[in-house]
A and B are shown apart, each in its own frame.
Chain A
Amino acid sequence: MADILLKVSGLHKSFGALLATNNFSLTLTRGHIHALIGPNGAGKTTVVNQLSGDMPVDSGTIQFHGRDITRLKSYQRARLGIARSFQITHIFENLTVAENMGLAICTGLGHNFRFWRNWQNAAAIKNELPLALERVDLLHRAELSARHLSHGEKRQLEVGMALIGKPELLILDEPMAGLGPGGTVELAKLIKKQKGQVTILLVEHDMDVVFSLADRVTVLVYGENVATGTPDEIRHNSVVRKAYLGEGE
């Protein structure tokens, strides 16, 4: 298939005696939202860290666009178009929302040794900033200090910053963690809005979100891919029900 963006095969990772990732394989189709679910300690974040390059793999291969990126460092993968967000919110609390987003845009401009002109007047900022803020529904919050945002809005901002530079693959590591119901709905809407423009690997706990957003779902148990399919298939998969959804025998 020509539309395969990311192909992971036979991934292994162990920490001492603990096999955190066990023969894990995954295929991401371009434009899809692909969810990665699994019980606590299943090794979801370990997989994500290996995909983003934040953690070296023991064995196995990762192909992006058919190119082997297994040995590339995280910043090299970022340049190829893989962006990620973290489980813990990672923004500049003391800067305004616009400045946060502006910094993300500045990153793509080469060096920033520009001392005189106000950063908001730089051509790239003028072009991109309003759109970037609009994309994550934060335009009305632009001048607010980021620390005054609600937890959900901070996540929106973080996703927005990850979307700068038009990544092809966006890895979201538990974006809903710690959000109230309102925040979850908002963020889910936002993720849905990106559908088709960017391929998303969504690591998530919240089942309702996963089943409403994802095109494909992969279930991870003890570092192993036990099932992959459409949300419907997963819901009715007996192995999954037993291992994960807590169906009693």
Chain B
Amino acid sequence: MTRKQITIGCGAIILILLPPAALLSGNPYLISLTSRIIIYALAAASLDLLLGYGAMISLGHAAFVGVGAYTIAILHFHSAGAEPLFSWPFLFAGSNNALLTLPLATLSASFAALIIGGLSLRTTGMHFIMITLAFAQMLYYFFISLEKYGGDDGLSLATRNSLVGLNLGNSSHFYYLCLAALFVFLILAHRLVNSRFGLVVRGAGNNDRRIKGLGIHSYRYKLVTFVIAGGSAGLAGALLANQTEFVSPGLMHWTLSGELMVMVLLGGLGTLFGPVLGATVFLALETTLAMYTEHWMIYMGPFLVLTVIFAKRGLFGFLAGDKGKNG
């Protein structure tokens, strides 16, 4: 076994055993904290597909988290209220069934990614960063303007979604749903980056002119990656809405995009598993430091700078060695 496999294996075992351990040791709050970490890890790992593999520096990833979260909230809003979501071509009263809402949230975020990516990917470099940021801010202000769905104040959910066989109100059950989503994503993404498709995307990320010189139309490959990453971020948003039972436009704010980016850099760019570690360290530090000071970013900042300077492939590279890359 390589160092990398041991690192990943240990991480998986810790995550799987955490809920019973937390309950036995009398720290049940750890379960909801770790659920949050897992959800952010999913969003950060999906961003890593863009940053670390396709070299698409998107500063608007939170937009897809927000779209996913709002899909859950709006479906819930209509299922709870009297008014149906739409009545044509068929009557749809909204839904609270996770089997329907989670895929719908993923789909709507993918669709948003298709539109935003389709336009943004015509640019590169600084322009791409700015245009993704601009789109995310547009969505942010759009949802602020939606008075019906709470506008600036956001929207509360009365309950979490329901899922056959599980009680998502139970923190352990919900935890395992999140963990399953993360595992499935990591497995699929790992296959993806090592496939022929992934090879083309990595090539385009490394030297886009050269890939075009080889006769490959890289735009389509990058767009598909963008859609996959956006959809996965939407799933993370859907889980987040369920966890907090509350959504607000703040989910789409660029500061969340920035935080996701910090998690990716902290954990290790282009490592897939690194962002999971990055999200863990980021949120754990935030939670602990925030107990002592409101200005916890003062300590987080230098930590990030030191990590980026000294750990070549982030914290994951530090643990897993040089072979850390490519999932």
Physical interaction between A and B: yes
The complex places the Cα of A114 from the Cα of B200 at a distance, in Å, of 10
Given contacts A90-B213, A92-B206, A107-B216, whether A115 and B191 have CB atoms under 8 Å apart is: yes
The complex places the Cα of A122 from the Cα of B194 at a distance, in Å, of 11
B312 CB-CB contact with A under 8 Å:
no
Contact among B195, B199, B210 with A91 in the assembled complex (CB-CB below 8 Å): B210
On chain A, the residues within 8 Å of B191 by CB distance are: 115-118
**Interface residues as binary, A90-115 with B (CB distance below 8 Å gives 1, 0 otherwise):** 11111100010011101101001111
**Interface residues as binary, A18-48 with B (CB distance below 8 Å gives 1, 0 otherwise):** 0000000000000000000000000000000
B202 CB-CB contact with A under 8 Å:
yes
B215 CB-CB contact with A under 8 Å:
yes
Given contacts A75-B215, A104-B214, A107-B214, whether A115 and B207 have CB atoms under 8 Å apart is: no
Q: In chain B between 179 and 203, which residues have their CB closer than 8 angstroms to a CB of chain A?
A: 191-192, 194-200, 202-203
A222 CB-CB contact with B under 8 Å:
no
On chain A, the residues within 8 Å of B203 by CB distance are: 92, 95, 99, 103
On chain B, the residues within 8 Å of A118 by CB distance are: 191, 194-195
State whether A117 touches B206 (Cβ < 8 A): no
Q: In chain B between 201 and 245, which residues have their CB closer than 8 angstroms to a CB of chain A?
A: 202-203, 205-207, 210-211, 213-216, 221, 224
A244 CB-CB contact with B under 8 Å:
no
Q: Taking chain B's interface residues, is the majority helix, strand, or loop, or is none over half, making it mixed?
A: helix
On chain B, the residues within 8 Å of A90 by CB distance are: 207, 210, 213
State whether A95 touches B202 (Cβ < 8 A): yes
**Interface residues as binary, B40-63 with A (CB distance below 8 Å gives 1, 0 otherwise):** 000000000000000000000000
Given contacts A91-B210, A93-B207, whether A119 and B196 have CB atoms under 8 Å apart is: yes
Output the nearest chain B residue to A106 by Cβ-Cβ distance: B196
Output the nearest chain B residue to A147 by Cβ-Cβ distance: B206
Given contacts A94-B206, A95-B206, A112-B221, whether A103 and B194 have CB atoms under 8 Å apart is: no
On chain A, the residues within 8 Å of B205 by CB distance are: 94
The complex places the Cα of A116 from the Cα of B196 at a distance, in Å, of 8
On chain B, the residues within 8 Å of A75 by CB distance are: 215
Q: In chain A between 39 and 78, which residues have their CB closer than 8 angstroms to a CB of chain B?
A: 75, 78
The complex places the Cα of A114 from the Cα of B215 at a distance, in Å, of 17
Given contacts A75-B215, A112-B216, A115-B191, whether A93 and B206 have CB atoms under 8 Å apart is: yes
Output the nearest chain B residue to A84 by Cβ-Cβ distance: B213
State whether A112 touches B207 (Cβ < 8 A): no
State whether B197 touches A103 (Cβ < 8 A): no
The complex places the Cα of A242 from the Cα of B194 at a distance, in Å, of 57
Contact among A78, A94, A102, A112 with B197 in the assembled complex (CB-CB below 8 Å): A112
State whether A103 touches B195 (Cβ < 8 A): no
The complex places the Cα of A75 from the Cα of B213 at a distance, in Å, of 8
State whether A112 touches B199 (Cβ < 8 A): yes
The complex places the Cα of A56 from the Cα of B187 at a distance, in Å, of 48
State whether B196 touches A114 (Cβ < 8 A): yes
The complex places the Cα of A103 from the Cα of B210 at a distance, in Å, of 11
State whether A106 touches B200 (Cβ < 8 A): yes
The complex places the Cα of A109 from the Cα of B214 at a distance, in Å, of 12
Output the nearest chain A residue to B322 by Cβ-Cβ distance: A145
On chain B, the residues within 8 Å of A112 by CB distance are: 196-197, 199-200, 216, 221
The complex places the Cα of A212 from the Cα of B224 at a distance, in Å, of 50
The complex places the Cα of A102 from the Cα of B206 at a distance, in Å, of 15
Output the nearest chain A residue to B207 by Cβ-Cβ distance: A92
- Chain B proximity of A88: nearest CB distance (Å): 11
Output the nearest chain B residue to A79 by Cβ-Cβ distance: B215
On chain A, the residues within 8 Å of B206 by CB distance are: 92-95
State whether A107 touches B215 (Cβ < 8 A): yes
State whether B199 touches A99 (Cβ < 8 A): yes
The complex places the Cα of A97 from the Cα of B199 at a distance, in Å, of 12
State whether B211 touches A117 (Cβ < 8 A): no
State whether B199 touches A103 (Cβ < 8 A): yes
Q: In chain A between 107 and 159, which residues have their CB closer than 8 angstroms to a CB of chain B?
A: 107, 109, 112-119, 122
On chain B, the residues within 8 Å of A113 by CB distance are: 197, 221, 224
- Chain A proximity of B174: nearest CB distance (Å): 29
On chain A, the residues within 8 Å of B198 by CB distance are: 115, 119
Given contacts A114-B196, A119-B199, whether A103 and B207 have CB atoms under 8 Å apart is: no
- Chain B proximity of A148: nearest CB distance (Å): 12
On chain B, the residues within 8 Å of A114 by CB distance are: 195-197
Output the nearest chain A residue to B197 by Cβ-Cβ distance: A115
**Interface residues as binary, A173-201 with B (CB distance below 8 Å gives 1, 0 otherwise):** 00000000000000000000000000000
The complex places the Cα of A78 from the Cα of B216 at a distance, in Å, of 13
On chain A, the residues within 8 Å of B210 by CB distance are: 90-92
> Could you list 19 further interchain pairs (A-B, Cβ under 8 angstroms) beyond the known A95-B199, A119-B194?
A78-B215, A90-B210, A91-B207, A92-B202, A92-B203, A94-B202, A94-B205, A103-B203, A106-B196, A106-B199, A107-B216, A109-B196, A112-B221, A114-B195, A115-B192, A115-B197, A116-B191, A118-B195, A119-B198
13 pairs, A vs B, C-beta closer than 8 Å: A90-B207, A90-B210, A92-B206, A94-B202, A95-B199, A103-B199, A106-B200, A106-B216, A107-B215, A109-B196, A112-B199, A118-B191, A118-B194
Binding site for B on A (CB under 8 A): 75, 78, 90-95, 99, 102-104, 106-107, 109, 112-119, 122
For the complex of A and B, 6 pairs with smallest distance between CB atoms: A119-B196, A114-B196, A94-B206, A112-B196, A92-B206, A107-B214
